[in-house]
């Protein structure tokens, strides 16, 4: 089933109406005055966002930050959000694991999830009593769309008795059909902690193959992939390194095993950010989504980022305008059937608990 048919046409944005209502309530014209008034925020992204562009964003940032207080809302933003979102309005930022843990600590009544739909579902599953808003319901994920709960049962029938470890990049229904979840930050540790010789990993075949290379378990996988990370090739990376031998290549484990084999470090988006902060290489190529380098460029002026990168079309559906609209209109609410949410919560909470225990 396509993502669009799953969320329903009613959930889709009427952009013309959104713009006319916002124009009636807020002064959103580009403003150097607003840019000057928010120079401290701009300073976190000045290397990648020119002041002229900031004059376009600043009125939205001011309006959203005000509205967050009025609505008792908190913004959870993934590392792939653009800098004006990541630095301008987010209360918590991180990779999927950190955002899931952060969601368990929220005290505000409303969560605005700046990321993709499965992340908002995870926040809702962990906060059934809070309102979770998604600024654009069409922000899906190729991995989440690649598998259904029935497919999980097919895998169980193929490998009887094997536990199912499901990547968080999936729908709540798929999580509920699984034994435990994992993220790119803990996949190897979770797989290794399962009982038995064989573990089923869904839905990312490349994450599973990368885990299989390092695990003592036999790993069976589903045929899903990330449309962003699968575009990178080992040949391209080798050619890049040949032309610039000093560059450090840092990859996400959704890349193919051939690409991961070329990398100096492989980790979750949070792991990548930590690695660059710790090692401060003179030149780094982040083999992942484009906003990652933009978001850390100002904190690391000594690092030159090589920019061949790929954009996630789903993550890029989230914009300041849509965030303001979701908070203004309180639309884009994410709901999860309570019975499904119970099953999915068990798999997500089991991951969080095991992750904490394994970290000591």
Residues forming the site for ligand SF4 (CB under 6 A): 116, 141-143, 169, 226-228, 254, 289, 312, 314-315
Closest CA to 347 of 126, 111, 104: 126
- In the complex, the smallest distance separating the C-beta of residue 107 from ligand SF4, rounded to whole angstroms, is 27
Site for ligand 13P in 70-109 (CB under 6 A): 79, 95-96
Among 110, 254, 323, 334, binds ligand 13P (CB under 6 A): 254
- In the complex, the smallest distance separating the C-beta of residue 12 from ligand SF4, rounded to whole angstroms, is 19
Strands of 131-133's sheet in order across: 92-94, 73-78, 110-114, 131-133
- In the complex, the smallest distance separating the C-beta of residue 272 from ligand SF4, rounded to whole angstroms, is 13
Q: What is the DSSP string of 259-293?
A: HHHH-SEE--HHHHHHHHHHH--SEEEEESBTHHH
Q: Which is nearer to ligand 13P, 54 or 167 (CB)?
A: 167
- In the complex, the smallest distance separating the C-beta of residue 212 from ligand SF4, rounded to whole angstroms, is 19
N- to C-terminal Cα separation, the chain: 41
- In the complex, the smallest distance separating the C-beta of residue 203 from ligand 13P, rounded to whole angstroms, is 12
Helix (H, G, I), strand (E, B) or coil at 219: strand
Choose among ligand SF4, ligand 13P, none what residue 268 binds, the Cβ cut-off being 5 to 8 Å by kind. ligand 13P
Q: What is the DSSP string of 18-42?
A: HHHHHHHH---S--HHHHHHTHHHH
Q: Tokens 């654009």: give the residue.
A: 136
Closest CA to 169 of 213, 122, 208, 212: 122
- In the complex, the smallest distance separating the C-beta of residue 293 from ligand SF4, rounded to whole angstroms, is 14
Q: What is the DSSP string of 99-133?
A: HHHHHHT--SSEEEEES-HHHHHHHHHH-TTSEEE
Q: Which is nearer to ligand 13P, 65 or 310 (CB)?
A: 310
Choose among ligand 13P, ligand SF4, none what residue 121 binds, the Cβ cut-off being 5 to 8 Å by kind. none
Q: Which is nearer to ligand 13P, 34 or 139 (CB)?
A: 139
Rounded CA-CA distance 350/307 in Å is 37
Rounded CA-CA distance 89/295 in Å is 13
Q: Which is nearer to ligand SF4, 61 or 255 (CB)?
A: 255
Choose among ligand SF4, ligand 13P, none what residue 183 binds, the Cβ cut-off being 5 to 8 Å by kind. ligand 13P
Query: Cα 259 from chain centroid?
Result: 21
CB–CB of 36/75 below 8 Å? no
Q: Which is nearer to ligand 13P, 60 or 86 (CB)?
A: 86
- In the complex, the smallest distance separating the C-beta of residue 79 from ligand 13P, rounded to whole angstroms, is 6
Question: Can you name the residues that pair with 198 across neighbouring β-strands?
Answer: 218
Site map (CB under 6 A) of ligand 13P, residues 173-192, x = contact: ----------xx--------
Site map (CB under 6 A) of ligand 13P, residues 256-295, x = contact: ------------xx--------------------------
Binding site for ligand 13P (CB under 6 A): 79, 95-96, 169, 183-184, 226, 252, 254, 268-269
């Amino acid at each position: 089933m396509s993502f669009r048919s799953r969320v329903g046409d009613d959930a889709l944005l009427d952009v013309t109406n959104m713009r006319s209502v916002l124009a009636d309530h807020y002064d959103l014209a580009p403003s150097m005055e607003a840019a000057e008034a928010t120079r401290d925020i701009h300073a976190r992204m000045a290397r990648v966002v020119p002041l002229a562009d900031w004059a376009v964003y600043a009125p939205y940032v001011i309006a959203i930050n005000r509205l967050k207080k009025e609505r008792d809302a908190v913004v959870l933003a993934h590392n792939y959000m653009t800098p004006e979102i990541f630095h301008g309005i987010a209360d918590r930022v991180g990779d999927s694991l950190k955002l899931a843990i952060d969601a368990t600590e929220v005290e505000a009544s409303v969560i605005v999830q700046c990321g993709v739909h499965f992340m908002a579902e995870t926040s809702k599953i962990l906060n059934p009593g809070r309102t979770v808003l998604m600024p654009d319901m069409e922000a899906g994920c190729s991995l989440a769309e690649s598998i259904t709960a029935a497919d999980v049962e097919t895998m169980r029938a193929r490998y009887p008795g094997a536990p199912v470890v499901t990547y968080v990049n999936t729908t709540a229904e798929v999580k509920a059909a699984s034994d435990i979840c994992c993220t790119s930050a803990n996949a190897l540790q979770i797989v290794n902690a399962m009982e038995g010789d064989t573990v089923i990993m869904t839905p990312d075949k490349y994450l599973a193959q990368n885990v299989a290379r390092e695990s003592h378990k036999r790993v069976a996988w589903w045929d899903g992939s990330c449309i962003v990370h699968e575009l990178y090739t080992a040949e391209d990376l080798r050619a890049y390194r040949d032309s610039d031998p000093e560059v450090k290549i840092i990859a996400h484990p959704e890349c193919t095993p051939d690409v991961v084999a070329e990398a100096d470090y492989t980790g979750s988006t949070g792991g990548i950010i930590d690695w660059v902060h710790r090692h401060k290489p003179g030149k780094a190529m982040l083999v992942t989504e484009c906003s990652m380098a933009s978001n850390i460029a100002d904190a690391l002026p000594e690092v030159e980022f090589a920019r061949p990168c790929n954009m996630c079309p789903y993550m890029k559906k989230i914009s300041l305008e849509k965030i303001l609209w979701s908070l203004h209109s309180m639309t884009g609410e994410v709901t999860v059937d309570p019975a499904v949410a119970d099953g999915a919560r068990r798999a997500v909470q089991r991951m969080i608990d095991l992750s904490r225990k394994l970290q000591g």
